[in-house]
Amino acid sequence: MSDLNKYLINNDQTVREALIKLDKLGSSPILFVVKEENILIGALTDGDLRRGFIRGLGFEDALISFLQPNPKYLLENEDNIDAIELYKKNHFKVLPILNKKGQIIDVLNFDKISTIINADAVLMAGGEGKRLRPLTESTPKPLLKVGEKPIIEYNIDRLKNVGIKNIHLSVNYLAEQLEEYFGDGESKSLKIKYVKEDKPLGTIGSVLLVDHFDHEDIIVMNSDLLTNIDFADFFRVFKDSNASMAVAATSYHVDVPYAVLEVNDNNSVKSLKEKPRYTYYSNAGIYILKKEVLKMIPQNKFFDITDLMDKIIEMNLKLITYPINGYWLDIGKPEDFKKAQEDIKHIKL
């Protein structure tokens, strides 16, 4: 998530060392003062040092004489989205992330990460993209470039921006190219792992090939989408609803060019609608589900995401939709790919 060490300073270091570290931090000049094993004891800014000098402290005084006690922080693996939004409104730029022992394990820098979603992610990236041939004859569809980077990279970068660290790619066709391009994710400060089907397992079956998920919630999405979906809001709605699964939906409008008559069983007209527009919601290929839902997926069998949704409904569990209000494009056909090349010039992903 960030270079942790540049934000940390031990309580036995000098004021001069603190000033040097603060000077290197640029737009987010704050240090978190720690004792042994990175236990947080306070925060330190240029202003804290300046106020200390005004009070008569000097370069030979201990850092503990200057610091702010009881700084704000986040706890790992807690749902902090609402708290983070409040900190952002109050102009916080960097927050430490603590484990249960009070040790700083990471920092959240709002210049790099917008929030933290405590979930793992699985991107489906194994399709052959036959409808896009010849483009996909030697390149897997997720690695086709839209603008300056591959389709899948936009999705990985957006997931990273909401604090997701663990990303699994379900690969098959030309899998080695995806593995070579992203590696283990270290270049993006992520942990990227790969699972590969020995036989077709449908649109959700390969998720069972992941050997371990760190979190209780999982984001599953197609890798060939371009979208600016608000992942944080999507996740918040999912958690607030206490649903077993949420499916993002995109609106689809049908305009009827004639007046529509509504009639009863006796063919008596009840109402008349002149050239109405009907709005339907379609599966957008992005889902959030509780890890416990994976038990419903049969091992080593072909199983689609729609089969899973049917099972959830049959068991009277909660399945919700989340309408995407922003941009969404499924790149399945040559005309979609061409549209994406134009759209990327005008939208921010």
DSSP structure class, residue 98: E
CATH code, domain carrying 146: 3.90.550.10
Domain boundary among the residues 56, 77, 109 is at 109
Indicate the average pLDDT of the chain. 89
348 part of a folded domain: no
Is the domain of 137 the same as that of 98?
A: no
Per-residue buried b or exposed e for 232-259, using 16+ beta carbons within 10 Å of the residue's own CB: bebbbbbbeeebbbbbbbbeeeeeeeee
Number of domains the chain is built from: 2
Assigned token pair, 225: 């989408």
pLDDT of 197-248, one tens digit each?
888 888 999 999 999 999 999 999 999 999 999 999 999 999 999 999 999 9
Is the domain of 152 the same as that of 298?
A: yes
Domain boundary among the residues 55, 84, 109 is at 109
Is the domain of 258 the same as that of 149?
A: yes
Task: Give the closest residue to 188 by CA, choosing from 116, 133, 112, 137.
Answer: 112
**pLDDT at residue 1, rounded to an integer:** 46
Region of 183 on the Ramachandran plot (φ > 0 left; ψ -120 to 50 alpha; else beta): left
| Mean pLDDT of the region 56-78 | 89
Supply the DSSP string of 247-279, one letter for each residue: EEEEEEEEE-SS-EEEE-TT--EEEEESS-EEE
Is the domain of 79 the same as that of 168?
A: no
- Residue 149 scores a pLDDT above 50: yes
| Mean pLDDT of the region 345-349 | 85
349 part of a folded domain: no
Is the pTM higher than 0.75? The answer reads yes
CA distance 222 to 226: 10
Identify the residue whose tokens are 């400060």. 189
| Mean pLDDT of the region 1-7 | 74
| Mean pLDDT of the region 1-9 | 78
- Residue 259 scores a pLDDT above 90: no
312 part of a folded domain: yes
Assigned token pair, 166: 């663990």
Is the domain of 219 the same as that of 322?
A: yes
Is the domain of 36 the same as that of 74?
A: yes
What is the identity of the amino acid at 100?
K
| Cα four-point dihedral sign 15, 18, 22, 23 | positive
114 part of a folded domain: no
Is the domain of 194 the same as that of 60?
A: no
Antiparallel, parallel or unpaired: β 328-330 and 319-323? unpaired
Is the domain of 245 the same as that of 337?
A: yes
Domain boundary among the residues 109, 139, 154 is at 109
Residue 94 and residue 28 in contact, taking contact as beta carbons nearer than 8 Å? yes
Is the domain of 15 the same as that of 95?
A: yes
Say which residue, 42 or 257, is predicted with more confidence.
Answer: 42
Assigned token pair, 345: 């010039």
Residue 190 and residue 251 in contact, taking contact as beta carbons nearer than 8 Å? no
Assigned token pair, 187: 């270049």
221 part of a folded domain: yes
CA distance 83 to 99: 17
**pLDDT at residue 252, rounded to an integer:** 74
For residue 43, what are the domain limits? 4-109
CA distance 47 to 341: 47
**pLDDT at residue 2, rounded to an integer:** 52
92 part of a folded domain: yes
What is the identity of the amino acid at 8?
L
42 part of a folded domain: yes
Residue 187: how many other CB atoms lie within 10 Å: 9
H or E element, residue 109: strand 104-109
The SS3 call for residue 321 is strand
258 part of a folded domain: yes
Cα distances from 263 to residues 160, 254, 257, 259, 260, in angstroms, run 52, 20, 19, 13, 10
Is the domain of 100 the same as that of 158?
A: no
Is the domain of 199 the same as that of 133?
A: yes
Is the domain of 243 the same as that of 339?
A: yes
pLDDT of 272-285, one tens digit each?
787 777 777 789 99
CATH code, domain carrying 17: 3.10.580.10
